Amino acid sequence: MEDLRSYIQFLEGKTEADVLSFLTSASDLSRDQKNLIHRYLFPRPLADKELISRIQGVRLNPSGSLVPNIYESILIIEASRTVQYKRFIKHLVHSYQDVSLIHPISGNDKCECCLCGKDIFQTDRLSMEFKDLNQAGNLYTAYGSTDTNLSICLPCLINLIEASHYLIDIDPNYLQSWGPVK
């Protein structure tokens, strides 16, 4: 991670053409690392709810996966650098960084994942929606945190935590400016 921070600090302020030229010749970086650096430095603007469609667009399985997906994590990192999603992603990182505060949401409601938009279910409703809870339970359970009222699915939670590690490693002060709007 230290390498990514060093590269980003070195490349910050350079033109996109210069960054792309440099990254093309950087043989010590993987394709995913190059993509992450480029998206961090040059995030594409996002319209309202466009993050949802972008996440759904890179998913191999529409339900998500229980292993980290670097492309979804990069989208979250990229969104954190846009005007539209900066505070939202920071709120999510702050709310879900302490895994001891994360829990399945009990209740009987259906809701949407705050990142990918898929339908997710509170624990009591889950058994009514799916006959085989082992197969669908983890992918469709609504998770929450004591620090937010937003619901998130487990695949997005996994990728959010992965993205938060990158964000905090790149900028150790990432959450320093976090605070609720007064």
The mean pLDDT of the chain is 90
Note the pLDDT of residue 87.
93
Q: Is the pLDDT at 51 greater than 60, yes or no?
A: yes
Q: Is the pLDDT at 20 greater than 50, yes or no?
A: yes
- Give the range among 26-35, 49-58, 69-78, 173-182 with minimum mean pLDDT: 173-182
Judge whether 119 and 135 are in contact, CB under 8 Å: no
Q: Is the pLDDT at 2 greater than 60, yes or no?
A: no
pTM for the complete prediction? 0.91
Beta-strand runs (E) in the chain? 102-104, 110-112, 119-121, 143-145, 148-152
Note the pLDDT of residue 81.
95
Q: Among positive and negative, which fits the CA dihedral 33, 39, 40, 42?
A: positive
Type of residue at 6: S
| Nearest C-alpha neighbor of 76 from the set 52, 47, 99, 59 | 52
Judge whether 47 and 82 are in contact, CB under 8 Å: no
